[in-house]
Structure formats: structure tokens, C-alpha cells
Structure 1
């Protein structure tokens, strides 16, 4: 029995080592469905590192995104560029898009593919500084983004001129047009078709060439953990707005009725979560200040006899601030009217 235990002590580490050394050689699929924010960046970069450690055959980033935060996008691109395993971006399913930050990620990938009925482009930087950013600052941001996407396109042998136009002119093209313009490598019907198309394909990784063997490989779909999923959800413009209004209402109830405690606690937590979400959104700070002013006017109404004038002014201020809050022409980055008006109505009723 003692000899058997000693044998296990020797064999088990060797089994673990062999698993890590040779890896499963499978295909890892990482899904991005929605805006690219810090939670998504953490999820994607962690999965890329994990796939590299286990020596998988291929990493596929399957995405449908309107764009997102520049810092989160660059974090993902750095992970792609440092990967020792080929990374393929796949805009899928049909009707999806790789807009803004998604365009950068697709161009930066070793392989870029799209499903019919998808589109790519419109990569003009979103104004994350709100309405107060000057023309000179905006020009600097555009020039920086243009140089960045051109360098990525040149590195992968893609159409650098179109890539720059997608930033400066917000041009966008269909999957078929993207293939014709040498923006992507493949137009395929689905993930299985992509896997088949990539078999025996040579991919340049740094100074070396890797030949992919994707036939009969196990496909593993990765998902966010609970923490990442929660942070991703609250980064939605609609959820962020609801959290902000809930937080302000909670603080209003606490300040106008000292000692309630619960509204103040809930309000504080909601505001902190809303502030986290707002770092990923193109917030117009003039709108945000109007909302805060409106809440201040409501609180003042409790202590000052104004015959409703302060309350009316506060309601107008909150309404205008809510409309101005998101500074973006992209519908995916705006607050839905189905959320905006009911939330305002509930706020005024309280």
C-alpha cells in the first residue's frame, strides 16, 4: 500500500504536467453581445490568457456590439496581440454588427470573418467627455484613433485606407463588401463553416507561421461569471439611468425625512453603481448637473414655502437633464424612451 501511494505521488504530477503541456487543442468561443465595457474586457482578456495557458488550437471572439469604452477596447486588443494562439473575430449571427470598438477588435484579430447580413464600421470615437469637450480635443482623439486603427490594419495586411475612413468618416459596409475591400478574410454562414474554412490555414503569429488544424476539434463556449455578468448588466444606459434616479430619490427621501435610514442606504448603493456604469457611457455632464439641481430644488421645497414653484422648477430641470444625459447619436448608447418616461413619471409621483 505504501509503494502504491508513492507511485501515485509520482504519476499524478506527471499527468497534470502533460495536460498543461499539450493542452486540449480545442476551439474556445468567447461571446461579446452588447457594449464593450470593463466587465467585458476582463472577461475576454481572462479567457484569452486561459486559452493560451491550456494551449488551445484557436480562439474565436463571436461578437455583436455597438462599440464601447476605448480603454476596454484597447485592453482586449493588447490581449489579442500578445496571444500565442490565433484569435479570430467573427461578427455573428446575422443582423449583428461590429461598430466602433468592435471594428478595431475585428481588424486587430489574426483572422476576421463575418456572417451574411452583418456589417462593420462606424468607428468614429464616441465623445466620452460629454458636451464640454472642445473641438481641439475632439480632433486629437480622432487623430489618435485614426493612427491606431491604421497601424492595426497594416499589421494584419488589411485595407488601412478604409480603416482610417471608418474613424474619420464613420463609413460602414456589409459583410460581402468588407470581404471585397480586404477588410475581413471570410464571409461564412455560421461558426461550423468558419471552423471548416480555417482548417490548414496559415496564420502569422509574430515572426512565426502557425498552421491551424480545426477539423474535429472540440468547441467550448465560454460565459461570464456572476460578478462579470452583474457589472455588464449595470453598464447598460437604461440600467444606469434607473440606478441613478433610484439613488437620487432615495437620498431625497432620507434628507427630507431624517431617520428613515433604508432609503438613504439604498440610494447610496444605487448611486455608486450608477457612477460605475457612467464611466463606460458618453455622459453629458450638463445633463447630469441639471438632474442633480432638480433634486436639490425638490429638497428645498420641503424647507422653503414657494407654493410649488421650486417643485415645478425641479421637475423641469430633471426632465431636461434626463433628455440631455447621454451625448451620443448611436441608439444603442442612448436611454430608451420606454425606460425614460416611466422612470420620470415614477420619480415625480414619489
Structure 2
């Protein structure tokens, strides 16, 4: 895949990622949390199909305009790229009916199907890769949905729309913190450190998956397991998970930093020093924001949606201010370093005091 086509493919994959994340934040996750008070209330299929159509309406024109696909091919590619939205709905259907082993099996089947069957057989084109994304999510989606019990009740969006609104804002702010500074700083003297940070994000991808899986399990337990009906049980689970993850993350990040430092490891296009500093900045941020973020999940389960989103907005404001100050003081690389440091440090400084205050009130005897 040549440079221009790779760029168009990257943009379309970004749209897919944002679509799935947006649907999760604005629909599926709030509905799962709502099950704490409405047992068994699941998201209707029509909501998932509406989200699928909206994603298709963005992806198909994008494939036509950005990737220069013919109209029929663009529609097919758009439908394939939007299929992960339906897969995410199926995953949350299984989670909401206490079938998490199906989700693990589906995710594993998706990875195996992609790496061993589809990718080796498909040409390296944007259209082919979008078809791979669609097929690799459609197949496990059908299997998981067929294995889930027929729902006995559904959630009304009106019942959790306020929670969904706060979580959608949280998602938008989080994406802004991650994407906007790197885009803005490209080409202004920070390209080497940006390359190191991007590679560090790739190397630490499995660690982010561990944080994400733990967060989903806490949500699922809090929403569907009667043993976690009391606030104290959810809080205890959150503290235990946060310390387990921070220990794991510190070990992984420390090991990678030590390896790169001692070995002089580098990759084509990313020099050793840029990778080392990228790992330090991104890795420390991952440890701190991941640890604090678990408390955000617990607070959401306990119904404190506005507090979590307010903290996220505060972190974003501090991070943007640090990027701007860093740029004025030392240019692009100083801006990137200041922003990563501010984001990592501000997360626990803002999240933990808010969490502790709510925990005390939520566990106070009536």
C-alpha cells in the first residue's frame, strides 16, 4: 500500500474507531450501567442498526471522496467498515446476559480469522482491508448472538440518556486530548518525538487492552452480579483492580524502557532517543491515567456521571494549557513533553480526591 492510499486507509480506520467508541460511550456502556437498577434491560437491535446506518453514511462518502472508490465499491466498503458497530452491540448483549466467555471467544476468533485467513488472502488495498474488518467482525457477531438467550426486557434510551450524554462528552474530550495535539504539532519541530510516541503507543497497546478489559469486567460485575450490588463491594473491587493494574503497567513500562535504554534498540524511521523518551512519556502517562481511570469507571457505576466528566474536562484543560506553555517555552518537542507529563500527573491528582469524597458518602451508614 503506497503513501497516499495508506493515508486514506488510516483516515477511514480512524472513523471506524471513533464510530465504535462513540456508540460504546453514548449507548452501550450507559445501558449496561443502567442494569444496576433495571436488571436484564438490554439495548434494542434498532438502536444498533441506527448507529450502523449513521456510520455507513459517514464511511461510504469518505471511501468515495478520500479513497476514490467507485460508488458501489464505496457503499460496500462503508458497510464493511460499519460492521464493528454491530459487533460491539453483540458483545455488550453477551456481557449484559452474563456470557462474557462468549465475548472472549469472539474476540479471539476475530483475531485468528484476521491474521491467519483473511489478511494473507486479500490484496493490500483500502477496500480489501475494510472488507477484512467487516468479515472478521460479522462472523463472530453471528455466532455470539445465536448463543445469547432471547432478551426478556429492554432498556428505554430515555431512562439513561442523561448518563449517555455525560459519557459521550467524556469520550469526545478524551479523543481530543489524544489526537488534537499530535496533529497540531506535526511539522512544527516535533516529528521525531511524535514518531517515538506513536511507536510507544503501539508497543504499549496490549497494556491498554488489559486496562480496557479490566474496566469492562468491573462494569459487567457491577451491573449484572448481585454480589456487587452494594457500593462498598464495587469500590473494593475498583481499588483491588487499580493496584493490580498499576503494578502490571509499571513492570511492563519499566521493562520496555530498560530494554530500549540498554540495547540501543530503534526502528527504521524512529531513532533510539525518540523511542526512549516516547516510552517514558507515554508509558508513565499510561500508568497514571490507567490507575486513576479505574476510579472513573467505579464512579460511573455508582451514578456520579457529571463528576467523572467534569474531572475529564479538567484534565483536558490542564493538558492543553501545558501543550501551549511548552510550545511557547521550548517549541514542538517541549510542548509534547509538557502535555504528556501534565496529562499523566493531573489524572490521579483530580480523579482520586473526587473518588474518595464520593466513596465516603456512598459507604456512609444511613
TM norm structure 2:
0.26
Q: Greater strand share, 1 or 2?
A: 1
Higher relative contact order (CA 8 A, sep 6+): 2
Q: Indicate the structure (1 or 2) with the bigger Cα radius of gyration.
A: 1
TM norm structure 1:
0.27
